[in-house]
Structure 1
Amino acid sequence: MKKIFPVLFVILFAASCGSGDNKSVEDVIASRDLESIRAKKSELVSEQNSIKEDIKKLDIIIAELDKSKKIPLITTFKLETTDFRHYLELQGNVTTKNLLIIYPEYSGVLSNVYVKEGQKVKKGEILARIDDGGLSQQLAQLKIQADLAKTTYERQQRLWDQKIGSEMQYLQAKSNYEAQIQAIAQLEQQVDKTIIKAPFSGTIDDVLTEQGSVVMPGQSQIMRIVNLDNMYIVTDVPEKYITNITRNKKVQVEFPVLGKKIDSKVRQVGDFINPNNRTFKVEIDLPNKDRSIKPNLTAKLKINDYSNENALLIPQSIISENASGEQYVYIISENDKENEAIAEKRVIVTGLTQGDYIEVTEGLDAGNEIIMEGARSVNDGQNVKIINQDS
């Protein structure tokens, strides 16, 4: 090696200086003699070609003598255990069990609407009233008749207790009174259907029918009431995750429209597999103290379906695959003081991914030094040189 560089220097020096008898390029140009200029160019081109041939010969011998040039340069990292959490990404919709459109139970004219949109109401509060068509007057008359029947019954009962009068008179009075009570109860039920009450505490979201309109049971939508206190998200999960998605699993909830993220948990897992799409339903708790989240809002969900506190993660980019479909990576062994080592092929079994990384379940151990850069250019048993080695 030491003899090669002086030879190269002599050749280059001779080429640059040329023969002492030759004129310099500047002198030839200054002569303005075309033949001399052409001759000088030919001379330089010939010298250039000769130098290239000599350099090529030198490169060949350098490559033959310099064995370090054939060793691939690699970088490595030491494999360590880490906390790995895999998340199943889904989309869900916000809903609530306290969202209801109120329909009338009685036909008639909507005579009074006592609430307006946005108004908060309590359970049982009267929201509207339907004209009862004279049922109230009938009820009042029945109550008067019932009072008379009650008086007659009580009088007949006292007489019968004293063995005065006939048993038939007593029984007729009793039967008449009981019939009046039943008639009042039935009519009260009818009158009660003309009064529309809040089924739960909440907010009147929309009044759908104006006062004075004729309404029909099961057809006319009176108003919509909603309670935002007990909100939750519902989503469909593929059946293959049925053993992984359980109650109290952690969930990351994101609302892109609101720019809001919430940490929550799975509160209920369905027991029924939908035969049409092979999914089961999952409900997720949704705290909504500021009431910014509304029903039917779309949410992005990340459900923690797998966790491993001692996982081995490697970049997916360093994994290769052979003709049999086996995945493998390279580790190093016999690392010497000059950072030269031997590449060793390891067949691995992989699991779930986390971004650009994947969990290795078989084939590697914590502490293995994995080839990172240059992993796809080495062979099993090949000498390699480690640069910028991670400590």
Structure 2
Amino acid sequence: MKKKSIIALSLLLLGVIALVFYRIDQNKKKEEKNSGGFASGNRSGAKVFGKVIFGQPFSDYISLSGSIEANEQVDIHPEIGGIIESINFNEGSQVSQGQVLVRINDAELRAQLAQAKTRNELSAENERRAKLLLEKEAISQEEYDIASADYRTAQSQIQLIQAQLDKTVVKAPFSGVIGLRNISKGSYISSTISIARLVNTAQVKLLFAIPEKYAYMVAKNKPVHFTVQGYDVAYTAKIYATEPSIEANTRTLLVRAIAENPSNNLIPGAFANVTFPLEDVEKGLLVPAEALIPIQNGKKLFVVKNGKAKEVLVETGGRTAADVLVTKGIYEGDTVLTSGVMSLRDGSAVEVNLR
């Protein structure tokens, strides 16, 4: 009986061992099958789209932000204080150079002028008499000099009061559009109060800053193009002046150009999108914008090398509506991957469909 138990246990143990080896063998075959399938998938590679890059003519440029300034602009202030007697302009109207804008009450100054003229007449007569007496040696030279000085002082007083009178009439220093007035007839005005703002917009100035590395390309009379919000028209301005030095904080050069504004569509203070032409590239390498991937240090893209995706750091220049000029990193004839690039890694196997 004991012998039969031992045989039974031995058979049971052999069965368990056989079952274990069977499961191990099945798992191994399954792993090999999965491994083989995965390897086959790798050999086929990820399906992506690409484009062979060839050089083509391209006019390079950079886009900058700018602002519109008036050709001439001034806040008009009187030179003396007084009561406003008349206002001779309409808000928002066109005024001409030399046109009278405001008159300040000058009654007191005119009275002073009449008084000064009377004194001048008396001083002139005294000087004439003193001169006759000096010729007859009836008075000394010193006495004549005093009379002559009084006469010249009286003349200077007339000139001073006349200058004050002229300041009671405020005129437009140049032609332009006058803005909203800050005064009313009959109110008191001083030299610190602004009457209104006068702006000449027959021409406007375009102010923008260009990066230091392009500063050497700025030249007098060089045309630049710009647009403003609300209008689909591209305007042209010509550079006429720059700052003499690079701004240390921004590493940019401040540039000013001038543009004609016959329709008065360009309003001072408006934002402008400026297109600054750089150079004409005979064989520019243009890649689709979607091929570029922004990274911390710039931009990168993928090219195909021996059936694998190769990561390349690139430098870019100007762009069109759909393409970007690559100035460094790729060469003519390279195949650039244009879609499905976000999931790629350097060295990934790829299957490329050319567009």
Scaled by the length of structure 1, the TM-score of the pair is: 0.62
Q: Match for residue 315 of structure 2?
A: 350
SS in 2 for 1:168: helix
Residues 346 and 98 of structure 1: is their aligned pair in 2 closer, same or farther, counting only changes over 3 Å? Answer: closer
Corresponding residue of 1:266 = 239
Show CA shifts across 1:167-191 (max 9, x none): 2332122111111112222222322
- SS state at 2:119 partner: helix
Deviation at 1:210, TM superposition (A): 1.3
Shift of 1:378: 12
Instruction: Tell me, yes or no, if the aligned pair for 1:208 and 1:224 is still in contact at 8 Å.
Output: no
CA contact (8 A) 2:82 2:190 kept: yes
Superposed CA offset, 1:186-222 (max 9, x none) = 222322232222222223323321111112221x332
Correspondence for 1:306: 278
What amino acid is the match of 1:357? D
Structure 2 match to 1:227: 200
Indicate if the aligned counterparts of 2:53 and 2:287 stay in contact, CA closer than 8 A: no
> Could you tell me which of 59, 65, 69 is aligned with 1:90?
65
Identical-pair percentage:
21
**What is the CA–CA distance in structure 2 between the aligned matches of 1:320 and 1:259, rounded to whole Å?**
31
In structure 1, the partner of 2:181 is 207
Map of 1:292 onto structure 2? 265
Query: For residues 232 and 110 of structure 1, do their structure 2 counterparts lie closer, same or farther at Cα, with a shift above 3 Å needed?
Result: same
Matching residue's letter, 2:58: D
- The CA RMSD over aligned residues, in Å, is 4.4
CA shift in 2, pair 1:182/1:100, >3 Å? same
- Residue 80 of structure 1, aligned match among 55, 78, 86: 55
The residue number in structure 2 matching 1:181 is 155
Residue 122 (structure 2) aligns with: 148
**The residue matched to 1:286 in structure 2 has which SS?**
strand
Aligned residues: 309
- Partner of residue 254 from structure 1, selected from 218, 222, 227: 227
CA distance in 1, matches of 2:187, 2:45: 93
Which residue identity does 2:199 align to in structure 1? V
Q: Secondary structure at the match of 1:227?
A: strand
* Deviation digits for residues 306-332 of structure 1 (CA, Å, limit 9, x no counterpart): 3342222223545689xx999565468
Q: Which residue in 2 is equivalent to 1:41?
A: none
Partners of 2:196 and 2:338 in 1: how far apart? 66
Pick 1 or 2: higher relative contact order, CA cutoff 8 A, min separation 6.
2
> Counterpart of 1:359?
325
Segments of 5+ residues of structure 2 without an aligned counterpart are 1-39
Residue 190 of structure 1 aligns to a residue whose secondary structure is: helix
Question: Counterpart of 1:359 in structure 2: which amino acid?
Answer: L
Residue identity in the other structure for 2:200: N
CA deviation vs aligned residue, 1:281-337 (integer Å, no higher than 9, x gap): 4323231012232222x233223263342222223545689xx9995654689xxxx
Residue 71 to residue 169, structure 1, CA distance change in 2 (3 Å): closer
Task: Report if the CA contact (8 A) 1:124-1:198 is conserved.
Answer: yes
Partner of 2:167: 193
Structure 1 runs not aligned, ≥5 long: 1-63, 334-341
Deviation at 1:353, TM superposition (A): 4.6
| AA matched with 2:63 | L
* 2:301 and 2:337 in contact (8 A); partners too: no
Q: CA deviation at 1:96?
A: 1.7
Q: Does residue 216 of structure 1 match 2:181?
A: no
Change (3 A) 1:113 1:353: closer
Match of 1:166 among 106, 120, 140: 140
Decide whether aligned partners of structure 1 residues 74 and 154 sit closer, same or farther in structure 2, where only a CA change above 3 A counts. Answer: same
